[in-house]
Structure 1
Amino acid sequence: MTLTELRFCYLLAYDSLRRRYQPMEKTDPERMECMEVWGGNQAVQRTFITPGLKIYIDSQPYGQAPGGGDVYYLSSCASGRITRMLLADVSGHGELVSQTAVGLRDLMRRNVNYVKQTRFVRAMNRQFADLGEQGGFATALVSTFFATTMTYSLCNAGHPVPLVFRRGTSQWSELKNEASCSRPISDTPLGVVDEASYGQLDVRLEAGDMVLSFSDAVTESEDGDGRQLGEAGVLRLVRELGTQDSEEIVPALVERIRGLRDSNLRQDDATFLLGQATGGGPSMKNNLLAPLRFLRRIADHTRIA
C-alpha cells in the first residue's frame, strides 16, 4: 500500500470516528404513539416523549457495523400510561444477535399492556436458554414507567447497575436493591440458569428525576492509568459533569470517557438510555380510546440488522 493510500485510509477512519462521537444537535423530541414498539440494534440518537417521561437513547455498534449486540426497545401501551424500556447486551454478533433481537421484539409486543414486568423477564430467560447451547448469553435491563403513579420499576438480569438522579437533592446514586443480593440464584444473565429468579425494584420518581442505563462498554472503559471505570467510576464521572439537562448528559459523558483513553467506547457496542420524569399522565382522550386500541395491531417501528 502506498503512502497516499495509507493517508486516505487514515482520513476515512478519522472522519468515521469523528462523526460517531461528535455531540448530537438538539432536536425536538418525538412523541411515541399508543400501541407502538420502537427500537432495534442499529446506530441511533433519538429523543422520545411518552406520558410523564422523556427518553433519550444513544446507541453505536462496534466498528461502524450496521447492527450490533446491544438491543434496545421502547413500547407504549393502549392508553400511554405504561412505557417499557429494554436494554439488552447479547454476546456475539451476526445472525445469532439478529434472531435474539427479533425474539425480544416479539416479547415486547406481547407484553405491551402488562404493568408487571417480571413475567416478561422470566419469558426472556426461557426463550434465550438456547443461547447457552450456542455459546452465548445476554444481560438485560427491563424498566417500566407507570405514569399514573410516577413509578419506575426495574428488573436487572446481570447488567451494569443504572444511576438515578434526584432533582430534590441534585445528587446521582446507584439504583439497586441491596436485599436482592441475598438470593442465591437471582438477577443472573439471561439464558445462564433455567430457573433463575428476577426481582423487581420499584421507585417513585418526581418531576425532573432521571434514570441512566448503559451497556458494559461504559463500565469497561479505562481511566488514564488503564484501570476499568466500573460502576463506581461511571458514577463519579456523571457526578462531575455539572449538567442537569437530560439531552446534554449522555453527549457530555461520552466526551468525558473518550477523553480518558482513545480506545474507550470503540472496542464494543456502546449504548446509553436516559429517562427523565416530566410529570403528568395520559390524556382523557387516550384513556377513552384505549379499549378500541386493544382491537388493532401494534405498530412496529423497529429496525434490526
Structure 2
Amino acid sequence: MSASENVRSGGVPAAEESERMQCMEVWGGNRGTNKSFEMPGLRTWVYSRPYSEDKSGGDVYYVSSCASGRITRILLADVMGHGTLAADTARGLRDLMRENINRIRQTSLVHALNQQFSDVARQGGFATALVGTFFAPRRSLAICNAGHPQPLVYRVAQAQWTPLHRRRAENAKLVDMPLGIADEVDYLISETKLDQGDLVLGFSDALPEASDEQGKMLGSDGILELVRQLDVSNPDQLIPDLLAAIGRLSPENLAQDDLTIILLQVTESRPRMKDNLLAPFRLFGKVTDQTQWVEQRR
C-alpha cells in the first residue's frame, strides 16, 4: 500500500518515540517525515508527505532550539515553483533559521523571509508561511501567518479547539499576504499565553482543500469541526486520527498535494541548569545542521 493510500485508509502510524532536540540545532527539510521531538516546555510532532510518493515536496518545515533551549522556533512554508527554485528556497530558509536561532522576537526573520520570497516571486515562484516562536519561561507562543491556513489551539481549561487568536490590522495597509507578493506588507505577530497540556495545530493547505462526503471543500471551519471530534488524551495519535478522519470523507482526499502537519503540546519540563550555564559559550559555536532536502523533479 502506498503512503497516500495509507493516509486515506487511516494507516498512518504514530510518530516514533520522541527525540530530545539539542541546543543550537536546526532540523527539517522538504522530505517525507514522521517524527516527534522534546525540548524545554514543549513537545513537537511533524508529519510530512510529498505529493505522489516523491522524495521531496514543496512543503518546507524547520524546527530550531536556541543556545539554552528556551526558544523553540517552527517554520512551515508552502513553496510553489520549479524544482531548483524550491530547493534553493529551502536552503535559504534554513540559513535564516540558523541566523535567527537565538532571537526571541521573530520580526527580523519574517521581514527577511519576505525579502527572500520577493526574489522567488521574480523567478515565477510563490509561497505562504507560518512562523512560530515558543519561549519556555513564559509559555508564550508568537505566531506570524503569511497567507497560510490559520492554526488551531486546544486549551485544557476550556476543553475545546478554537482558531488561534489573530491580531487585527490597525490601518488599511496590506497585512499577512503570501510572502514575496509585495514589499510594503505588514506581517502581524500575535502572541498568546499557553498552559501545560495546551495543543497548537498547524497544517498546509492540503487539509482545508480536502472535500466532505458531498464533494464540498472542507475549508478551515470543516477542519475545526473534524478536530473537535478527536480524542486529545493521547496527542501521539492526534495526527494519525485526523488524517484517517479526512481520508474517510473522500477517496481523493490528501492525494492531490503535498501534506504537512505540525502539532505542539506545552509540557511541564523547563530548561536545564546545565544548558543555561553553557548557553554563553554555545553562542560562539556553530549551529548543528540536521536538515535534509532534495531537489524536486517536477
| TM-score bucket (shorter structure) | over 0.9
Distance 1:181 1:159, change over 3 A: farther
Correspondent of 1:156 among 129, 138, 145: 145
* TM-aligned CA deviation for residue 27 of structure 1: 2.9
Q: Do residues 31 (structure 1) and 31 (structure 2) align? A: no
Greater helix proportion: 1
Provide the rounded CA distance (Å) in 2 between the counterparts of 1:211 and 1:26. Answer: 17
Greater mean deviation of Cα atoms: 270-279 or 175-184: 175-184
2:235 corresponds to: 246
Residues 226 and 242 of structure 2 are in contact (CA less than 8 Å); yes or no, is this contact kept in structure 1? yes
Distance 1:131 1:289, change over 3 A: same
Provide the rounded CA distance (Å) in 1 between the counterparts of 2:190 and 2:130. Answer: 11
Report the 3-state secondary structure (helix = DSSP H, G, I; strand = E; otherwise coil) of the residue aligned with 2:285.
coil
* TM-aligned CA deviation for residue 17 of structure 1: 3.5
Provide the rounded CA distance (Å) in 2 between the counterparts of 1:262 and 1:304. Answer: 29
Provide the rounded CA distance (Å) in 2 between the counterparts of 1:194 and 1:187. Answer: 12
Correspondent of 1:55 among 44, 48, 55: 44
Relative contact order: is structure 1 or structure 2 higher (C-alpha 8 Å, sep ≥ 6)? 2
Correspondent of 1:213 among 185, 202, 208: 202
Figure out how many residues of one structure are paired with residues of the other and give that number. 292
Report the 3-state secondary structure (helix = DSSP H, G, I; strand = E; otherwise coil) of the residue aligned with 2:56.
coil
Q: Do residues 173 (structure 1) and 162 (structure 2) align? A: yes
Q: Do residues 92 (structure 1) and 81 (structure 2) align? A: yes
Report the 3-state secondary structure (helix = DSSP H, G, I; strand = E; otherwise coil) of the residue aligned with 1:135.
coil
* TM-aligned CA deviation for residue 209 of structure 1: 0.2
Report the 3-state secondary structure (helix = DSSP H, G, I; strand = E; otherwise coil) of the residue aligned with 1:219.
coil
Give the structure-2-normalised TM-score: 0.95
Provide the rounded CA distance (Å) in 1 between the counterparts of 2:232 and 2:139. Answer: 23
Matched-pair identity in % = 48
Provide the rounded CA distance (Å) in 2 between the counterparts of 1:179 and 1:261. Answer: 35
1:75-108 residue CA offsets vs partner (Å, 9 max, x unmatched) = 0000000000000001134111101100000000
Which of these two proteins has the greater Rg computed from alpha carbons? Answer: 1
Correspondent of 2:270 among 254, 257, 281: 281
Provide the rounded CA distance (Å) in 2 between the counterparts of 1:228 and 1:241. Answer: 20
Report the 3-state secondary structure (helix = DSSP H, G, I; strand = E; otherwise coil) of the residue aligned with 2:168.
helix
Stretches of structure 1 that go unaligned for 5 or more consecutive residues are 1-13
* TM-aligned CA deviation for residue 180 of structure 1: 3.0
Q: Do residues 259 (structure 1) and 248 (structure 2) align? A: yes
Stretches of structure 2 that go unaligned for 5 or more consecutive residues are none
Q: Do residues 230 (structure 1) and 219 (structure 2) align? A: yes
AA of the residue aligned to 2:52 = G
Which structure 2 residues correspond to residues 118-197 of structure 1 after superposition, within 5 A?
A: 118-180=107-169, 183-197=172-186
Provide the rounded CA distance (Å) in 1 between the counterparts of 2:115 and 2:254. Answer: 31
Residues 20 and 60 of structure 1 are in contact (CA less than 8 Å); yes or no, is this contact kept in structure 2? no
Residues 78 and 127 of structure 2 are in contact (CA less than 8 Å); yes or no, is this contact kept in structure 1? yes
1:7 corresponds to: none
Q: Do residues 45 (structure 1) and 34 (structure 2) align? A: yes
AA of the residue aligned to 2:78 = D
Provide the rounded CA distance (Å) in 2 between the counterparts of 1:60 and 1:23. Answer: 11
Greater mean deviation of Cα atoms: 51-60 or 234-243: 234-243
Provide the rounded CA distance (Å) in 2 between the counterparts of 1:76 and 1:64. Answer: 30
Residues 71 and 101 of structure 1 are in contact (CA less than 8 Å); yes or no, is this contact kept in structure 2? yes
Provide the rounded CA distance (Å) in 1 between the counterparts of 2:168 and 2:82. Answer: 34
Distance 1:255 1:164, change over 3 A: same
AA of the residue aligned to 1:171 = Q
Which structure 2 residues correspond to residues 61-72 of structure 1 after superposition, within 5 A?
A: 61-72=50-61
Report the 3-state secondary structure (helix = DSSP H, G, I; strand = E; otherwise coil) of the residue aligned with 1:279.
coil
* TM-aligned CA deviation for residue 116 of structure 1: 0.3
Residues 150 and 279 of structure 1 are in contact (CA less than 8 Å); yes or no, is this contact kept in structure 2? no
AA of the residue aligned to 2:35 = R
AA of the residue aligned to 2:88 = Q
Provide the rounded CA distance (Å) in 1 between the counterparts of 2:2 and 2:67. Answer: 43
Residues 38 and 75 of structure 1 are in contact (CA less than 8 Å); yes or no, is this contact kept in structure 2? yes
* TM-aligned CA deviation for residue 16 of structure 1: 4.6
Provide the rounded CA distance (Å) in 1 between the counterparts of 2:197 and 2:60. Answer: 26
For the aligned residue pairs, the C-alpha RMSD in angstroms reads: 1.4
2:258 corresponds to: 269
Residues 163 and 172 of structure 1 are in contact (CA less than 8 Å); yes or no, is this contact kept in structure 2? yes
Provide the rounded CA distance (Å) in 1 between the counterparts of 2:285 and 2:42. Answer: 24
Report the 3-state secondary structure (helix = DSSP H, G, I; strand = E; otherwise coil) of the residue aligned with 1:288.
helix
Provide the rounded CA distance (Å) in 1 between the counterparts of 2:215 and 2:271. Answer: 47
Provide the rounded CA distance (Å) in 2 between the counterparts of 1:53 and 1:121. Answer: 22
AA of the residue aligned to 1:69 = G
